[in-house]
Amino acid sequence: MPKIVTLTEFIQSNQSDFPYATGELSRILNDIVVASKIVSRDVRKAGLVDHILGSHGEINIQGEYQQKLDVIADEAFIREFRLGGEVCGIASEENENFVAFTSESAKNGKYVVLFDPLDGSSNIDVNVSIGTIFSIYRRISPVGLEATLDDMLQSGTQQIAAGYVLYGSSTMLVYSTGNGVNGFTLDPSIGEFCLSHPQMKMPENGRLYAMNEGNIFECEEGLRKYINYCQSRENQTGMPYSGRYIGSLVADFHRNLIKGGIYIYPDVISAPKGRLRLLYECNPLAFIAEQAGGLATTGRKRILDIKPEYLHQRTPFYVGSKKMVEKAMECLGL
Ligand code: AHM
Ligand code: MG
C-alpha cells in the first residue's frame, strides 16, 4: 500500500512553492482545514440535530438560539482566521460588510480571506451536496493597521491561493497556490484530509452541461443557441450532451473538473448581473479552473481580469472545459 500523504504533510513539503515561503500561507491553509473539519462534522449531523437545521433567530426547545448551518460555518471559519494571526480581515457572503480584525497580531497579518462559508444553501435541508469556497490575497494596505475595503476589492489575478471544500458523499478539499490543483479526501476514521487527486486536470472538452434551464427564456438568444447546440447531434460527440444541474455550484464545478463539462449562470431578467458573487464564488473557482487547464469567463471576458467595485458584486459565470466555454462564447457572438 502506498504511503498516505496528509494535507498537512503536503502543505509542509510544498511550502517552498508558495509565492511567499514564510509559513504564513501554510498556517492559513491549516486554519481552513480545521474549520472545514468542524463544518464537515456538523453537516454530517444536519439531519439529526435540530439545533443545526433550525432557522436562525429562533429559540429551540432547550432555550438556545437556533443557528442555521451557514451561520455555524461562517462563525467556524471566522474564528479560525481571527485567532490564527496571519489574516488581518475577511469578507464573507454571510456578512454585509467586511470584517477587519482588531487584535495587534491580526493587524500584523499580511493576508485577507474572502469566502462563501456554505454555498448551495437551498440544498442544506434536503441532504444534497454543499460546499465552502475560499480565496486568499496579500493585503495591499500597510501591515500593522486594520484591513481596508481595498484589500478585499482586488482582481482575481492577485489571488495567492484559492479552493473549495465539497461536503458530498465524502468531504473533499481542493486547492491551488498557483502550481496546479490538488484534491484531498477526508478520511473520517483518522480525521485527516489525504491526497486523493494529485495534479487535477480539467478535460479540454466534455459532454455535460449545467445550467438552471428554468431560466432559458430569461436569457439572451446566443445562450439559447448554445444550449440548443448542447442538446443536438451537431456537437463534437454527435450525440446530445447530458444536462446535469445540482444547483450547488461547488458540486457542479467539481463534477465538471473531473469529468469535463460546463457550468453556466448567465445574466437573466430577474438577475441582470447574474446570481453568483464575483469575489468569493466566481474568482476562486475561476482560479482553480485555469490552474486545471479550464476557462472561466462572463461569457465575454475573463473573470480573473474583472476589477471589483463592491463586495457582493455579481457576475454572469461560464466556467469549465476550455473548448466548451469557448464554444458558448462563440454562440454569444464573440
Ligand atoms: P447561495 O450562495 O445563496 O447558495 O447561491 C448560490 C447557488 C449556487 O450554488 C447554485 O449554483 C445557484 O445558486 C443556484 O441558483 P438557482 O436556484 O437560481 O439555479
Ligand atoms: Mg453562495
Let me know if residue 218 belongs to a domain. yes
Domain final residue pick, 156, 171, 197: 197
What's the whole-number mean pLDDT along residues 167-185?
A: 97
The verdict on 249 and 135 lying in the same domain is no
Find, among 122, 132, 117, the residue nearest to 172 by Cα: 132
- Residue 19: per-residue pLDDT: 60
Ligand 1 in reach of 266 Cβ (< 6 A): no
> For residue 29, is it within any domain?
yes
Going by pLDDT thresholds of 50, 70 and 90, the confidence category of residue 45 is confident
- What would the mean pLDDT of 70-99 be, rounded to a whole number? 95
Ligand 1 nearest atom to the CA of residue 214, by list position: 19
CB distance 191 to ligand 1 below 6 Å: no
Mean pLDDT of the chain: 92
For residue 318, pLDDT over 70 is answered with yes
In this structure, the answer to whether residues 227 and 192 fall within a common structural domain is no
185 and 277 together in one domain: no
Q: Which single residue is written with the C-alpha cell 430569461?
A: 218
**Last residue of one domain, picked from the residues 197, 225, 244:** 197
Q: Running DSSP on this structure, what letter comes out for residue 217?
A: G
Distances (CA, A) of 238 to 199, 207, 233, 330: 30, 10, 4, 19
Domain count, the chain: 2
- Contact indicator for 284, 250 with CB cutoff of 8 Å: no
53-78 tens-digit pLDDT: 555 555 444 444 445 888 999 999 99
pLDDT at residue 56 in the model: 57
- Last residue within a domain, chosen from 197, 224, 241: 197
Query: Does residue 221 share a domain with residue 257?
Result: yes
Q: What is the pLDDT of residue 297?
A: 98
Kindly report the CATH number assigned to the domain that includes residue 24: 3.30.540.10
Same domain, 170 and 49: yes
Q: How far apart are CA 163 and CA 244, in angstroms?
A: 22
264-317 pLDDT tens trace = 999 999 999 999 999 999 999 999 999 999 999 999 999 999 999 999 999 999
| Per-residue confidence (pLDDT) for residue 54, from 0 to 100 | 54
For residues 297 and 243, state if they share a domain. yes
Q: What is the pLDDT of residue 212?
A: 97
191, 263: one domain: no
Same domain, 157 and 118: yes
- Strand duo 262-265 + 208-210: pairing: parallel
Residue 1 lies inside a defined structural domain of this protein: no
Rounded CA separation 205/222 (Å): 20
- pLDDT reported for residue 215: 96
Pairwise CA distance, residues 151 & 133, whole Å:
18
Residues 20 and 47 in one domain: yes
Mean pLDDT of 208-218: 97
In a domain, 2, yes or no: no
Radius of gyration of the chain (CA): 20
254, part of any domain: yes
- pLDDT for residue 20 is more than 80: no
Q: So what's the pLDDT on residue 1?
A: 73
CB distance 248 to ligand 1 below 6 Å: yes
Helix (H) or strand (E) holding 91: strand 87-92
Residue numbers of the domain that contains 69: 7-197
pLDDT of amino acid 62 = 42
Residues 227 and 258 in one domain: yes
- 310 burial via Cβ count (<10 Å: 0-12, 13-18, 19+): exposed
- Assign residue 264 the CATH number of its domain: 3.40.190.80
Closest ligand 1 atom, residue 263 Cα:
11
- CA separation for the pair 80, 117 (Å, rounded): 13
pTM of whole model > 0.85?
yes
Task: Provide the percentage of residues in the chain whose pLDDT is more than 90.
Answer: 81
**Interval 145-164: pLDDT, tens:** 999 999 999 999 999 999 99
Atom of ligand 1 nearest to the CA of 130: 9
Q: Are residues 229 and 261 in the same domain?
A: yes
Residue type, 66: Q
Q: Is residue 55 a part of any domain in this protein?
A: yes
CB 316 within 8 A of CB 266: yes
Rounded to whole angstroms, how far apart are CA atoms 264 and 5? Answer: 34
CA gap 309, 222 in Å, rounded: 27
What's the rounded mean pLDDT across residues 188-215? 97
| Mean pLDDT within 131-147 | 97
How confident is the model at residue 13, as a pLDDT?
86
Name every residue whose Cβ is closer than 8 Å to that of residue 255 and which is 6 or more positions away in sequence.
208, 210, 244, 246, 261
Shared domain check, 227 and 108 = no
